Amino acid sequence: MGARHGLARVLSKRGLCSRSQAERLISDGRVRLDGRVVRDPEHPTDLEQARIDIDGAASEQGAPRYLMLNKPRGLVTTTSDERGRDTVYRCFDGADLGWIAPVGRLDKASEGLLLFTNDPQWAARITDPAQGPAKTYHVQVDCIPDAATLAVLYTGVDVDGERLRAVTTSLLRSGAKHAWLEIVLDEGRNRQIRRLLAAFGIGVLRLVRVAIGPLALGDLPKGQWRELSPGEVAALGGA
């Protein structure tokens, strides 16, 4: 007998749907476990051996998928939006990928590298604040910060009860009124860069994530996606 988990967690671990989607399917009586309907999302279930049917069809563990997307500005990072806004899944229209979920998120106004997978364990390693890879951003700001300002971004500041800081901050280039910064974070707090810069009176004009750990966005066109290679998957968080 293999490891046992709640039925909803097993569906998620098998890469069939998200945990919340699994809970809804189970509660609605659409899931059979070894031939009988189970309505308890926490029902103990053998991860490896259990036979699970959804809507009468056998559901085998999905092949692991690992994707990267160059997220355009203006899309929200969610499967559906109650306000009817376009989501990142628009970029996958016409692709038969099964269930995949974003690994972390980028806010609506942000762009760049966003990962997707149906492997929750891999995703958890990527988003782990203590063990996950650093994230690199190129940020256009509405001023030209001096060296002292860049240094204090590393020191950090308390904002709404949270300590916000950058691992490194450097000036990439500057013009007459604007500049591009490279900012590296080792954690993913909500709107962290925008809130950190705002605390010092700096406004963000564009924010592009260009790398996660060793994986660079490269020349992937905006709105396009590709599969990760086995080497890239392993370098980010194993598989």
Q: Which of 206, 213, 144 is nearest to 173 (CA)?
A: 144
What DSSP character marks residue 106? -
Residues counted in the chain: 239
Is 146 assigned a catalytic role?
no
The answer to whether 236 and 133 have CB atoms below 8 angstroms apart is: yes
Phi and psi, residue 57, nearest 5°: -110, 135
The answer to whether 204 and 197 have CB atoms below 8 angstroms apart is: yes
Annotated catalytic residue: which of 34, 86, 107, 142? 107
What DSSP character marks residue 195? H
Residue 152 is inside which H or E element, if any? Answer: helix 147-155
Catalytic residues, by residue number, are 107
